[in-house]
């Protein structure tokens, strides 16, 4: 029976997979480690309540998703327009596309923010939508409009 499973076994079999899923979203190893630890604290507390309606991994992954949302709320990663995000450090590799920086100057700051988060920092549009608390279709619309506006 699932609810009698040993936590140590559950932890050993799932921690790395969950950690790397979290890392793929938050992009910071320390934050990913903290979130993964919170996930497994919850798993430890509630493993006895697991009913088996889904696979154990799916249940743990759902907890991880909720903890990621909590992380963004706690860190207030609304990603309001700020200069730190809009500044492209000279050290950032733009895949040898020097023209990109010039083209970014052609678009509105709100569009620029989304393009930088997506194309330079590697966030998915869905992640940007969640971080900013804006509907995914709105983020997509802004992003694709910005790409059109950046064309020569």
Whole-number Å distance between alpha carbons of 135 and 126:
9
Residue 80's pLDDT is 44
**Nearest CA-CA partner of 115 in 130, 100, 136:** 100
pLDDT (average), residues 93-102 = 54
At 44, is the pLDDT very low, low, confident or very high (cuts 50, 70, 90)? very high
Report the predicted TM-score, pTM, of the whole model to 2 decimal places: 0.50
Tell me: pLDDT of 124 over 90.
no
**Nearest CA-CA partner of 127 in 119, 141, 117, 115:** 117
Domains in the chain (CATH in brackets) are 2-74 (1.10.1740.10), 83-150 (1.10.10.10)
């Amino acid at each position: 029976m699932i609810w009698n499973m040993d936590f140590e076994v559950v932890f050993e079999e799932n921690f790395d997979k969950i950690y790397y899923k979290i890392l793929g979203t938050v992009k910071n190893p320390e934050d990913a480690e903290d979130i993964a630890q919170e996930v497994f604290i919850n798993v430890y507390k509630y493993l006895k309540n697991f009913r088996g309606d889904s696979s154990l991994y799916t249940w743990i992954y759902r907890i991880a998703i909720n903890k990621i949302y909590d992380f963004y709320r706690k860190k207030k990663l609304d990603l309001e327009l700020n200069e730190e995000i809009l500044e492209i450090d000279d050290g950032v590799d733009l895949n040898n596309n020097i023209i990109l920086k010039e083209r970014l100057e052609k678009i509105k700051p709100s569009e620029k923010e989304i393009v930088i988060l997506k194309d330079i920092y590697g966030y998915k549009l869905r992640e940007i939508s969640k971080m900013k608390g804006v509907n995914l279709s709105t983020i997509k619309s802004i992003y694709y409009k910005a790409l059109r506006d950046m064309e020569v």
